[in-house]
A and B are shown apart, each in its own frame.
Chain A
Amino acid sequence: MREPCVSAKSNRLQKITTMEKNEQPIRKTFQNSILAWIDERLPIISIMQREYINYPTPRNVNYFWSFGAIATVMLLVMITTGLVLAMQYTSHTAMAFSSVQRIMRDVNYGWLLRTIHMNGASMFFLAVYIHIYRGMYYGSYKKPRELIWILGVMILLLMMATAFTGYVLPWGQMSYWAATVITNLFSAVPLIGEHIVSFLWGGFSVDNPTLNRFFVLHFLLPFVILGVVLLHVAALHVTGSNNPDGVDVKSKRDTLPFHPYITSKDSLAMLVFAIIYAAIVFYAPNFLNHPDNAIPANPLSTPEHIVPEWYFLPFYAVLRAIPNKLLGVLGLFGGVAILFFLPFLDRSKVRSCRYRPIYRWFLWAFVIDVVFLGWLGGRPAEEPYILWARLGTLYYFGFFLLLVPLVSLFERPSPLPASISEPVLKTADRPRVS
């Protein structure tokens, strides 16, 4: 049945009133009719607008806050280059090494894609380690952001597994012996250790079945990482970003819209990061490589001095510092796993180290300790390095298990600013504060 003539305007008004009656949310529609059509059915455009354009970000965030975005871009760079590299790679013990040589010599821009991918792993870890340290220094792991932190540690573990399986693929000497040593870590498990290792290998040594499954896992895990990154970011957008003062956002004055303020800031940070990355790719593509990996894998001879990639060195030093197989392996894994418990070990209500006069120095000492352990991890397993590594390991675990909980109980934090904007506005436009 046709209704009597009603103008289009009042018709629309009627519709809106009906929607309000049914208590359906009235979504922001777009001028562009195609965008509006899509958005009414799947509000992906308004979600993107809310989370990446309007998203209120604390106005005092510094450049350390750019490393999350940098890490995300690195993940995408690794997935893109990895995808085309996988199309040229052969995961067979007889052909893997030469297929990588073919990528370097014959495939169009193969040399570029591989150096971007290979050094990209290091740049990804660099960005993520800075990102983690930023979270530790400014207390981003504390309530209400514990789950963001835990998801982040899961990403770190997945990245380690991905980096390790990827390192095995070129099937050089370091690849082969890294695979052997790392899989043998599981032989430390009491009773069933040997069975676990043989299960991981799919045989009695690292061989073709191992290489094949590592290739499959190396392809799969980055997409798992991407999934956890989405959860990590989704959880972040529930609580909102932390900031260098570590105090909660109290009013609109404390924030700026994500675009253009944070997007332009992140872009500049990414640009500087990309320049360093490009400098390594073009001027020192093998700087972080070990020459032994230019020798094809030989199961009958171990290189004299085997070391993991730099991003594993601190944990490797912990492994070698402990003179007991099982405890050494537990130390290695525990060094990463202990990060999961940081939000619960730290009882201090104050987030930012700017207002934690004592803890700040222990945290800096922790950074120096990690770098020191990293350096030791690359040294040969002999004195005095072993003793130093033991002291470093002691501080590493002592920091998390003793210093973090104790300092948080006894420390007297400095007075916090009333709000994020207060210290800025005090000097700038005073009259408006009233």
Chain B
Amino acid sequence: MNETSSSRGNTHIGGRERREFLGLLVGATGAVGAVAFTWPIVDSLNPAKDVLSLASIDVNISELQEGQSITVKWRGKPVFIRYRTQLEIKKAEDANWQKFRDPQSDTERVKKAKYIVVIGICTHLGCVPLGQKNITQRGEYGGWFCPCHGSYYDESGRVRKGPAPLNLTVPPYEFLDERTMRIG
């Protein structure tokens, strides 16, 4: 063993000891191999293709009447779609939004004034606010009311009172035609 290291181990390649170079080479190859084995294991925990394929949904809104609300499930979450009345639209647009906790005008939050589309999850701690089915539960600002910790949202889904820090999130959506809306 001593003979080997003294006669062969000190051969120099580019000023670096051969043994050191081999050690680096083996270490680097091993590191690449370890990452190549670990990445598939970690990545398998990311959303699978069948989950991603449900990332966008098409909703038929042709049956929705003025004043009505529907709730659809998108990516496992409730999405509130409400066909607002003229009065509701006027109240949402005329509100003094610059003073709100999360200042946003109504026009920023809708694509067509008659439809308000928001993710039905309170921005405080994730409960589903009331007011979709029973209009008496909409709270004093006429939008939605979260019973968990008392957050009030208006006709545009903007937080007006209570602990929630932000307005209800507007999901990405588009109108494919008069009857169909695509969320996601």
Using CB atoms and an 8 Å cutoff, list the residues of chain A in contact with chain B.
80-81, 84, 87-88, 102, 105-110, 112-113
Q: Which of B43-51, B66-74, B122-130 contacts A (4 or more CB under 8 A)?
A: B43-51
Question: Which residues of A are found within 8 Å of B45, using beta-carbon distances?
Answer: 84, 87
B15 within 8 A of A: no
A102–B49 Cα distance when bound, in Å, is 9
A81 contacts B41, C-beta separation under 8 Å: yes
A80–B44 Cα distance when bound, in Å, is 12
A84 contacts B41, C-beta separation under 8 Å: yes
Question: Which residues of A are found within 8 Å of B76, using beta-carbon distances?
Answer: none
Question: Which residues of B are found within 8 Å of A106, using beta-carbon distances?
Answer: 48-51
Q: Give chain B nearest CB distance to A285 CB in angstroms.
A: 14
A-B contact pairs, 15 of them (CB 8 A): A80-B41, A84-B41, A87-B44, A87-B45, A88-B44, A102-B48, A106-B49, A106-B51, A108-B43, A108-B48, A109-B40, A109-B43, A110-B44, A113-B40, A113-B41
A112–B51 Cα distance when bound, in Å, is 19
Question: Which residues of A are found within 8 Å of B46, using beta-carbon distances?
Answer: 108
B44 contacts A113, C-beta separation under 8 Å: yes
12 further A-B pairs in the complex, CB-CB below 8 A; given A102-B48, A106-B51, A113-B44: A84-B41, A87-B45, A88-B44, A105-B50, A108-B46, A108-B49, A109-B39, A109-B40, A109-B41, A109-B44, A110-B44, A110-B48
Q: Give chain A nearest CB distance to B133 CB in angstroms.
A: 33
Question: Which residues of A are found within 8 Å of B40, using beta-carbon distances?
Answer: 108-109, 112-113
The residue that B50 contacts in the complex, of A84, A102, A112, with Cβ under 8 A, is: A102
A112–B44 Cα distance when bound, in Å, is 10
Question: Which residues of B are found within 8 Å of A113, using beta-carbon distances?
Answer: 40-41, 44
| Chain B, 22-55, CB within 8 A of any chain A CB | 39-41, 43-46, 48-51
Q: Give chain A nearest CB distance to B77 CB in angstroms.
A: 21
B44 contacts A84, C-beta separation under 8 Å: yes
A108 contacts B44, C-beta separation under 8 Å: yes
Question: Which residues of A are found within 8 Å of B48, using beta-carbon distances?
Answer: 88, 102, 106-108, 110
Task: Give B96-136 as 1s and 0s: 1 = Cβ < 8 Å from A's Cβ atoms.
Answer: 00000000000000000000000000000000000000000
A107–B48 Cα distance when bound, in Å, is 4
Q: Which range holds the interface residue count of chain B?
A: 10 to 19
A80–B38 Cα distance when bound, in Å, is 10
Query: At the interface, is chain B mostly helix, strand, loop or mixed?
Result: helix
Interface centre among B39, B46, B48 (most CB of A within 10 A): B48
Interface centre among B40, B41, B44, B51 (most CB of A within 10 A): B44
Question: Which residues of B are found within 8 Å of A105, using beta-carbon distances?
Answer: 49-50
A348–B49 Cα distance when bound, in Å, is 61
Q: Give chain A nearest CB distance to B38 CB in angstroms.
A: 9
Q: Give chain B nearest CB distance to A273 CB in angstroms.
A: 14
Q: Give chain B nearest CB distance to A102 CB in angstroms.
A: 6
Q: Give chain B nearest CB distance to A217 CB in angstroms.
A: 23
Interface centre among B41, B45, B49 (most CB of A within 10 A): B41
Q: Which residue of A lies closest to B53 (CB)?
A: A106
Q: Give chain A nearest CB distance to B152 CB in angstroms.
A: 40
Q: Which residue of B lies closest to A267 (CB)?
A: B26
A80–B43 Cα distance when bound, in Å, is 13
Question: Which residues of B are found within 8 Å of A87, using beta-carbon distances?
Answer: 44-45
Question: Which residues of A are found within 8 Å of B44, using beta-carbon distances?
Answer: 84, 87-88, 107-110, 113
Question: Which residues of B are found within 8 Å of A108, using beta-carbon distances?
Answer: 40, 43-44, 46, 48-49
Q: Which residue of A lies closest to B47 (CB)?
A: A108
Q: Give chain B nearest CB distance to A271 CB in angstroms.
A: 10
Q: Give chain A nearest CB distance to B4 CB in angstroms.
A: 12
Q: Which residue of B lies closest to A114 (CB)?
A: B44
Q: Give chain A nearest CB distance to B26 CB in angstroms.
A: 8
Q: Give chain B nearest CB distance to A346 CB in angstroms.
A: 36
A285–B41 Cα distance when bound, in Å, is 18
Question: Which residues of B are found within 8 Å of A110, using beta-carbon distances?
Answer: 44, 48
A110–B44 Cα distance when bound, in Å, is 6
A112–B43 Cα distance when bound, in Å, is 11
Question: Which residues of B are found within 8 Å of A84, using beta-carbon distances?
Answer: 41, 44-45
Question: Which residues of B are found within 8 Å of A88, using beta-carbon distances?
Answer: 44, 48
Q: Which residue of B lies closest to A108 (CB)?
A: B43
Q: Give chain B nearest CB distance to A56 CB in angstroms.
A: 15
Q: Which residue of B lies closest to A110 (CB)?
A: B44
A108–B47 Cα distance when bound, in Å, is 8
A84–B46 Cα distance when bound, in Å, is 11
Question: Which residues of A are found within 8 Å of B50, using beta-carbon distances?
Answer: 102, 105-106
Q: Which residue of A lies closest to B23 (CB)?
A: A260
A84–B39 Cα distance when bound, in Å, is 12
Q: Which residue of A lies closest to B41 (CB)?
A: A84
Q: Which residue of A lies closest to B43 (CB)?
A: A108
A109–B46 Cα distance when bound, in Å, is 10
Question: Which residues of B are found within 8 Å of A107, using beta-carbon distances?
Answer: 44, 48-49
Q: Give chain A nearest CB distance to B33 CB in angstroms.
A: 9
A106–B51 Cα distance when bound, in Å, is 8
A281–B118 Cα distance when bound, in Å, is 47
A241–B51 Cα distance when bound, in Å, is 51
Q: Which residue of B lies closest to A105 (CB)?
A: B49
Q: Which residue of B lies closest to A87 (CB)?
A: B45
A113–B41 Cα distance when bound, in Å, is 7
A108–B46 Cα distance when bound, in Å, is 7
Q: Give chain A nearest CB distance to B159 CB in angstroms.
A: 37
